[in-house]
Chains A and B, each alone.
Chain A
Amino acid sequence: MLKTVSRKTLAALLGFLLVALALLALVKDGGAGWRWLSKGGWNTSARISALTPEERQWAQTAWRYFVNNTQPQTGLVNGSDKQPRATLWQMGDTLIALLAARELGLLKEEEFDHRLTQLLGTLNRLALTDTRTPGRLYATPNASLVDFSGQTQRNGWSARDMARLMLALRLVSEWAPQYQEYLDKIVLRWNFCPVIDPHGELWSSSIENGKPVIREELRLGESEYAATAFRLWGFAPDQAFTPPARNVIIHQRTLEVDARDPRTTWQPSLISTLPYMLPGLEFGWQPPGVERATRKALRERAKQVWLTQQTRWEKEKVLTARADFALGQAPWHVDDTVWGNGYAWNTLGADGKYYPRLAQVSTKAVFALWVLWDTPFTDALMNVSRRMNDAQRGWFEGRVEATGDFNRTITLSTNAMVLESLFYKAHGGPLFRNGLIDNGSYFYLQATDVFSAPGLCLPGERRVEMKK
């Protein structure tokens, strides 16, 4: 009798202990274990766990850039260190970095509110171009439209940059829903009639010889990413989701590239890391409201881009993490690609020339690859990149392939990318829960108001074609 009781008690005790241990494992490190379990940690290729002290230091260094470069009058952050200009893409980066900093505990809720409020105000007062679209480039001290030399100019718009900001606004809405109304108002001011056509193709515009030129600017990778952002707001950018693709073969791997000819469209056709990895960080390549085939293609292409770079490392022993980057001298901006305009590992300056000596291991590509794919290759990339920063100023753009030098330029996008990647890691998975704007939102109610349609070609709005 006694024997059975003790045996039962023992079994119960053991069971209890096991459950307690499991619970402890799940809640330890701020619930990292639970997150690992609930995010499918056993079948992901990504790094999902709480930040190590070193990684926290990395995040702090990246955040340092934003502290240094915030303009007190507007809350905007300089696109490059001490360079008082920013694009909409960079404004989107700023919002995501701010969110990441709060979630990683780099700033207090009070400071978050303060910074976000100032940004919201500026973005809601942003000067628009003649077509009532947001422009390509703004001066950060006063949020006026400028060109690259700082001269006032109404310089067209970029659907790609608009998309990044629109995506960031949706992300902030999810993580700080109390601000949603103000976030919605930012986009409600914009005129989408020239930006998205009835087929769902996205158009951009620039000024050439004093005249606006409208063109399809987005190419495979960027196109789907921009379309994803437009979809979050309820637009139907169908054509932008399915750019024409063809295959090229690099290191015996097929890689999909845009089929439009850069020689006749005058638009470079480039494959680089970020447009493929951002949908991974933000949606796990499962953006909401998007067809299954497109989701599958997004994941498949991201894998191709990652594996192609890994294969180059394996076969040619060249550490490879390609992304566009800034440079401290001419040609100032470089498209460093996996494939570009016909050639594998092409490195194109802003002037369209080939600069093989400038190719580099780009910090932002390293972070995106490192966090999404936990492999010896990304370990090797991070090992060579982890010290590419100045603790007082932020992360450098990258390390030059040809010489091993640092490219000591410091930019907003690179530092935002560091924060976004670490945010993904600490959060343990894609940043968006869903992302789609809901039917009860301020944005949606305004857009679909039948009695006072804003006439901006918003989703749900009856479309009135503009007369020339």
Chain B
Amino acid sequence: MKLICLTLFRRWAGIVALGLVMTSAQAAPGLPASDYPVRSGTLTAQEMKIAKNAWQYFVANYQPTTGLVNAVNKYPSTTMWDSASYLAALTAARELGIIDKAEFDRRLIKFLATLNTIQLFRNELPNKVYNTINAQKVDYLNKPGEIGFSALDIGRMLLWMKIIKERYPEYANSIDNVVLRWDFSHVVDGCGTLYGAYLENGQPKYVQEGRLGYEEYASAGYQLWGFNTCQASRPQPYDLAEIYCVLVPYDSRDSRRTFQHNYVVTESYLLYGLEMGFDTADDRSNTKNHYSHPWMKNFADRVYQAQENRYTITGMLTARSEHQLDKAPYFVYDTVFSDGFNWNTITDKGQYVPETAAVSLKAALGMWVLWNSPYTDRLLSVIENANEEGKGYYEGLYENGSGPIKEFTANNNGIMLEALMFKKSGKLLRFNTDNPKDKNFAPSLWEKKLVDLFEENNTRRNRPFLNPTSAVKSWCERTGTALRTKSSCQACQCASCKADEPVKLPPVAASCLKQ
């Protein structure tokens, strides 16, 4: 009896806490954005033209020696994130018929060969940056040397390698070999928190990486390969900011103490929508307008809605993402919210540079495909011809009207291409090979290694423990492989994090929307 009272009280307290927000911010029935359908169907001639223009970037910036593509126009350097964007572009180019299978194969074989032979940071994971001409580890100035790894960049690469592996199973072997090389000891801990690395006085330091949005997106990549990312996949800790009548969630870890900006941008939610279809990593179905990751979809709707509302209220076309610049400070976080301020535009040092705010083309096209609305129609008409022959699309259009950002990047053009591919064929992650119910099922190299009890690297490299399916078990019996029965890491049973804990959605909108 006492127990029941307690739980009742807790529920009651929750309702009261919710009511506190409601009193001044009455809950609107829902966000208009939640009712906008995604765009789907074959591409129109106009859309095909956009795709072909975007692909121009990857023609112009391809490095035949390594198969890598420059992250920024003519600058021979790239990261795992930008390389994943290249994989997205390559896949889209093939699916949309811009290149044929031969071109696709030629490029992908070279690329995977490079990825399989590059030197890793401390023999763990890919360095943050590589030279695209000789595939050497470099720093941000493209000088040889190692500087650390980014858990988020690697997360995006893992996600794209999974997408390729599933779409084109003939590459599964090469891809599994890439991931088998990697040492996950420091990048993800037992409670599923992601860590990046940097060098301090020559010694590697591992620090928690990722903030709400990006953190969940990157952790999906790890999850697809079997890792537990419980802590990173939860929305907590977050707070809400009221932005043009929408309550927008942001990471509440204090950027003044952690030196990590908690930026809210379109890109992180956008990529999750395009690639994962707002589904969880273990959702193998592919149904349109059904989202098995409801809070991610809901948070994405809020980020979208705040931007549409800004246009409605102030007349400013808005599609925000982090982007490059064609002049100093060269890179900004152009956010919906960051470090305490709505519509903050800051450099990586936190300097406020509002004059560099821009309509990001990747964000605009991504919003166009995920939210079919009159507002995104307008976004498309403003960006569709913002390209240069043979170079691809501009990074953005300055909000203050001072024209385009005359810079071209792999990430921008790659995301534009994947948005168009989404229109044609829906959610980009399409499970194919390892469905145990499939009659063609065979465990992949990755799985075979992971279930092998005598594979030393499983423990040494902190590989995840896969729950063996019956098909894997039978494969083990047939081949005489001793099956791992329990996880090798002790911390994997994390007491402080429950992965299946339901997430209650916070109230959506402030009262001013209803007027």
Interface window among B79-87, B155-163, B236-244, B440-448: B236-244
Partner of A342, one of B20, B21, B25, B341: B341
Which residues on the B side are within 8 Å of A249 (C-beta)? Answer: 21, 239-242, 247
The answer on a CB contact under 8 Å between A252 and B24 is no
Bound complex: CA of A264 vs CA of B352, how far in Å? 9
A253 at interface, CB cutoff 8 A: yes
Min CB–CB distance B253 → chain A (angstroms): 12
Name the distance in Å between A254's Cβ and chain B's nearest Cβ. Answer: 4
B-side interface mostly: mixed
Closest to A254 in B: B24
A148 in contact (CB, < 8 A): no
Task: Check: B354 CB closer than 8 A to any chain A CB.
Answer: yes
B256 lies within 8 A of chain A by Cβ? yes
Q: Does B265 contact A (CB under 8 A)?
A: no
Report B448-474 residues with CB < 8 Å from chain A CB. Answer: none
A-chain residues with CB within 8 Å of residue B256 when the two chains form the complex:
343, 354
Q: Which one of B17, B25, B242 lies within 8 Å of A246 (CB-CB)?
A: B242
A247 and B352 contact, CB distance less than 8 A: no
Given the known interface contacts A248-B242, A249-B247, A342-B340, the answer about A263 and B352 at a Cβ–Cβ threshold of 8 Å is: yes
Q: How far apart sit A298 and B341, CA to CA, in the bound complex (Å)?
A: 25
B510 CB contacts on chain A under 8 angstroms: 247, 254
Is B242's CB under 8 angstroms from A247's CB? yes
Interface centre among A248, A252, A343, A354 (most CB of B within 10 A): A252
Contacts of A254 in B (CB 8 A): 21, 24-25, 242, 510
CB distance from B233 to the nearest CB of A (A): 23
Chain B residues with Cβ below 8 Å from A438 are none
Shortest Cβ distance from residue A257 to the other chain B in the assembled complex, whole angstroms? 10
- Chain A, 213-254, contact with B by CB distance < 8 Å: what is the 0/1 string? 000000000000000000000000000000000111110111
- Residues in A with CB closer than 8 Å to B20 are 252-253
B337 and chain A: residue at smallest CB distance: A342
Residues on B with C-beta less than 8 A from A142 are none
For residues 166 through 201 of chain A, which have their beta carbon under 8 Å from a beta carbon of chain B? Answer: none
- Interface residue A109 (Cβ < 8 Å from any Cβ of B): no
Q: Which residue of B lies closest to A300 (CB)?
A: B24
Whether, in the assembled complex, B251 has its beta carbon less than 8 Å from a beta carbon of chain A, the answer is: no
Q: A252 near B17 (CB under 8 angstroms)?
A: yes
Give Cα A163 to B352, complex, Å.
34
Q: How far is the CB of A266 from chain B (nearest CB, A)?
A: 12
Docked CA distance A57–B401 (Å): 66
Q: Chain B residue with minimal CB distance to A353?
A: B256
Residue of A nearest to B247 (CB): A249
A250 to B17, CA, bound (A): 12
**Given that A342-B341, A354-B256 are known contacts, is A247 also in contact with B24, CB under 8 Å in the complex?**
yes
Min C-beta distance of A150 to chain B, whole Å: 34
Secondary structure call for the A interface: strand
Centre residue among B18, B256, B257 by max chain A CB count within 10 A: B256
Contacts of A252 in B (CB 8 A): 17-18, 20-21, 240
A253, A261, A342: the one contacting B339 at CB < 8 Å is A342
Contact (Cβ within 8 A) B21 A253? yes
- For residue A250, which residues in chain B have a CB less than 8 angstroms away from its CB? 239
Instruction: Give A263 to B354 CA distance when docked, in angstroms.
Output: 10
Distance of A246 Cα from B340 Cα, bound (Å): 13
A267 within 8 A of B: no
Give residues 306-357 of B contacting A (CB, 8 Å): 339-341, 352, 354
Q: Are A343 and B254 in contact (CB under 8 A)?
A: yes
CB pair A263–B341 under 8 Å, yes or no, is: yes
Q: Which residue of A lies closest to B341 (CB)?
A: A342
Q: How far is it, in angstroms, between the C-alpha of A449 and the C-alpha of B254 when the chains are bound?
A: 59
Q: How far is the CB of A304 from chain B (nearest CB, A)?
A: 8
**A460 CB to nearest chain B CB (Å):** 39
A342–B254 Cα distance when bound, in Å, is 11
The reply to whether A248 and B341 contact each other, CB–CB distance below 8 Å, is: no
On whether the beta carbons of B354 and A343 are closer than 8 Å, the reply is no
A432 to chain B, nearest CB (A): 29
Q: Does A341 contact B (CB under 8 A)?
A: yes
Expressed in whole angstroms, the minimum distance between the Cβ of B36 and any Cβ of chain A is: 25
Question: Contact between B240 and A341 (Cβ–Cβ < 8 Å)?
Answer: no
Nearest Cβ in chain B — how far from A21, in angstroms? 42
Chain B, Cβ-Cβ closest to A250: B239
A247 contacts across to B, CB distance below 8 A: 24-25, 242, 510
* Nearest opposing residue in chain A for B352, CB measure: A263
* Cα distance, A130 to B503, chains bound together (Å): 63
Q: For residue B340, which residues in chain A have a CB less than 8 angstroms away from its CB?
A: 341-343
Within 8 A of B (CB), among A321-347: 341-343
Assess whether A248 is in contact with B17, with CB atoms less than 8 Å apart. no
- CB pair B247 A261 closer than 8 Å: no
Give B478-515 interface residues, CB cut-off 8 Å to A. Answer: 510
Q: Which of B1-29 contact A (CB under 8 A)?
A: 17-18, 20-21, 24-25
Within 8 Å CB of A248, what residues of B?
Answer: 241-242
Q: How far is the CB of B340 from chain A (nearest CB, A)?
A: 2
Min C-beta distance of B497 to chain A, whole Å: 21
Q: What is the CB-to-nearest-CB distance from B286 to chain A, in angstroms, rounded to a whole number? A: 37
**C-alpha gap A228/B339 in the complex (Å):** 34
| Chain B residue with the shortest CB-CB distance to A342 | B340
Which B residues lie within 8 Å of A341 (CB)? 340
- Tell me the smallest distance from the CB of B373 to a CB of chain A, in Å: 25
Residues of B within 8 A of A342 (CB): 339-341
Most central of A247, A253, A264 by chain B CB within 10 Å: A247
Among residues of B, the one whose C-beta sits closest to the C-beta of A261 is: B341
Can you identify 9 A-B contacts, CB atoms within 8 angstroms?
A247-B25, A248-B242, A249-B239, A249-B247, A252-B21, A252-B240, A263-B352, A264-B354, A342-B340
Query: B residues bordering A, Cβ < 8 Å?
Result: 17-18, 20-21, 24-25, 239-242, 247, 254, 256-257, 339-341, 352, 354, 510
8 closest cross-chain pairs (CB), A and B: A342-B340, A254-B24, A247-B242, A249-B240, A263-B352, A343-B340, A252-B21, A342-B341
12 more contacts with CB within 8 A, not counting A264-B354, A342-B340, A356-B257, are: A246-B242, A247-B24, A247-B25, A248-B241, A249-B247, A252-B17, A252-B20, A253-B20, A253-B21, A254-B24, A254-B242, A343-B256
